[in-house]
Every structure is written in C-alpha cells, then in structure tokens.
Amino acid sequence: DTAVSQTPKYLVTQMGNDKSIKCEQNLGHDTMYWYKQDSKKFLKIMFSYNNKELIINETVPNRFSPKSPDKAHLNLHINSLELGDSAVYFCASSQDYGGRYQETQYFGPGTRLLVL
C-alpha cells in the first residue's frame, strides 16, 4: 500500500552510462515531480508533470529526460552520466496544479545515485 514508490533504491554506475529511475504513485494524484537532493542535502525541483504533460523544466541539462506514460508514473532517464549527477533523486506527487498551493506533495523513498 505504498503511496509513492521508486525503483531502484540504490544505483551505482560508471561515468558515461545511461540509467533510468522509475516512479509510481497510487494516490490518484494528477501531478508528479522529480527533485534532486545534493550532497549538502539541498533539495531542488527538476521537473513536474500534470496528467502526462510537462509543466516545469527547471534548467536541467538535456541529458535528463523525464517520461510520463500515464498520470500514475513518472520515469527519469539520464544519459551520459557524470560525476556531478551523484545525488538522491526524489519523486513526489500532489493532487493538482495551477496555483493549488495548499496541496501537499508526498515523496517517494528516494533513489541514491552514485556515479563512479
């Protein structure tokens, strides 16, 4: 009965590789997000999708490509991984968008990516 799930939980890979992280939510929410938490624990938005449509793309390198096959899933594909991509990536979801500032975002458990 996990609300927001991510796979894998840990990802260790070599520089230059391509990898994907998957996210699924069973809360019936319309909007999903990817956040990056760096080594200093700072969290920053990367992307958001509402009903499969890209809403936010926060100046992320185009090596990062989100894909939303349906509103319950949001995957993150990363090409040509670099050392600086090492971080924790969180998926989140919320009920609505467009000024619905009251809506809580619920986070997945995070994916710890280490690029060697």
Nearer to other proteins, 14 or 41 (CB): 41
CB of 78 to other proteins, least distance (A): 19
Nearer to other proteins, 78 or 87 (CB): 87
Classify 103 in phi/psi space as left (phi over 0), alpha (psi -120 to 50) or beta: beta
CB of 32 to other proteins, least distance (A): 10
CB of 28 to other proteins, least distance (A): 17
**In 3-state terms, what secondary structure has residue 69?**
strand
Return the DSSP state at 39. T
- Tell me the C-alpha distance between 17 and 64, whole Å: 12
**In 3-state terms, what secondary structure has residue 98?**
coil
Nearer to other proteins, 64 or 107 (CB): 107
Q: Is the link from the previous residue into 8 a cis peptide, with omega within 30 of 0?
A: yes
Residues near other proteins (CB under 8 A) are: 31, 33, 35, 40-45, 48, 50, 55-56, 58, 88, 90, 92, 97-99, 101-110, 112
